[in-house]
Amino acid sequence: MAHEILKLKITNEIISKIDLGRLRRELSAIDDFIIQSRVRKAGQQPTLPRTSLNLEELAKSNKLNLLVDDDRKNLGLTLTELYSHAPVMRMSFASEPSPVFLKKIITWLRAEIHPHVLLQTGLQPGIAAGCVVQSNSKYFDLSLRKHFEKNRGLLTGGITMKEPSNG
Amino acid sequence: MQLQSYLLIIGMIGVGFGVAIALVLASEKKKAKTKQSSGATAHHTQAEAIDTNINKIFNDEFREELRNRGRLHFEKIIGENAMFLQQDLQLTTSQLNDYMKQEITKTLKEEFTKYEQSINDAKQLAIDSIAKTQKAIEEQREILGKQLDEQVASEKERVLSRFEKNMADIVNHYVLAAIGNQIDLNDQLEFILGELEANKKDIIEDIKNGA
């Protein structure tokens, strides 16, 4: 199954486990539709569930046909596996990030860190700027406060230069 | 003073009169002794003769004359003595004045010397006391100054240390209060990606370990 995960190309619109869950529900709805369409008589077909752009893009990028049972089943299993085992990074920002911003971040993370990484966002208004990142077991403070702490010598030097002379 | 002069004059007149009577009686007694041998009968006659002669000699005019002479003589003596007495008195008064002046001057000098010495002692005592007080104040001032300098340095060090320790929080708080609402996450993208890039190795390592 891990092999299947490695083969799956996740689009950058899928950011968090919530997105994965939504995709799984959509797949399940399609499964239900297919099953129902088989057992019902002609003229009593249920309405085709609407699929999201994310699911369509995912299927398209992975060359899957969602109307094919095997493709749908494999995609569902892969999504379930991803939901359970994909690495998750938690990032907290000073304000609510926009989808465009998150897409840029997840694009970089999947290109540089891990191709299947998921992102869980949070809010920490006290950090003013930057972010706080938490991976499996590590905590990375990438906030402006930490940046100031790193450059404390520079700040102290600036204050010393501005300090009036005693004479 | 006048009463004493009168008493002196009267006394001297009495003494002169007594002396004159004594001289006359003495001469008469001498004559009587020479004739004593002539017999007791004749003695009585002679006594009477003496009394008669005395009365003749010392008649009222003679007595008045003696009184006048004595008065004049005593007046002269009294005048001379009064003059001497006045001179002595003036001299004594002058000497007394000088003596009194000297004594008073001496006493005053001694008192002034004592007074001056007392003043000098008190002055020296006050100067010593002031000097001691100034020295104590100076020492206390130096101690307090030293303590103040130490406390100021300690407080400065503590404030600076605290400021430096919390400088990041202070500046961050200031930035947050000043422009916190104006910081857009899109503007921070470059900074965040830069920080992620800087920690990329650790993040990959951690994710690999977690996987």
Question: What does the pLDDT look like over A75-126, one tens digit per residue?
Answer: 888 888 888 888 888 989 888 888 888 888 899 888 888 888 888 988 887 7
Helices (H), A98-143: 99-112
DSSP A95: S
Distance CA(B31)–CA(B24), nearest Å, equals 11
Residue to substitute from A106, A131, A150, A166, interface B, most B β-carbons within 10 A? A131
* Stated pTM of the model: 0.53
Percent of chain B at pLDDT > 90 equals 24
| Distant-in-sequence, close-in-space partners of A83: CB < 8 Å, separation ≥ 6 | A17, A20, A21, A24
Instruction: Please provide the distance, in angstroms rounded to a whole number, between the alpha carbons at the two ends of chain A.
Output: 77
Average pLDDT over residues B42-52: 84
pLDDT at A70 over 60: yes
Range with the lowest mean pLDDT among A85-89, A157-161, B197-201? A157-161
pLDDT at A63 over 70: yes
Domain residue spans of chain B: 2-94, 179-210
Verify whether the Cβ–Cβ distance B202 to A140 is below 8 Å: yes
Residue to substitute from A155, A160, A162, A166, interface B, most B β-carbons within 10 A? A155
Distance CA(A105)–CA(B193), nearest Å, equals 8
pLDDT tens profile B112-160? 999 999 999 999 999 999 999 999 999 999 999 999 999 999 998 888 7
Which helix (H) or strand (E) covers residue A132, if one does?
strand A130-134
Q: Using CA coordinates, name the residue in chain B closest to A106.
A: B193
Report the mean per-residue pLDDT for chain B: 82
Domain residue spans of chain A: 1-86, 87-167
Confidence band, pLDDT 50/70/90 cuts, at residue A163: low
| Distant-in-sequence, close-in-space partners of A80: CB < 8 Å, separation ≥ 6 | A24
Average pLDDT over residues A53-69: 83
pLDDT for position A167? 39
pLDDT at A48 over 50: yes
Residue A128 buriedness (CB in 10 A; 0-12 / 13-18 / 19+): buried
Distance CA(A80)–CA(A82), nearest Å, equals 5
pLDDT for position B24? 65
Report the mean per-residue pLDDT for chain A: 81
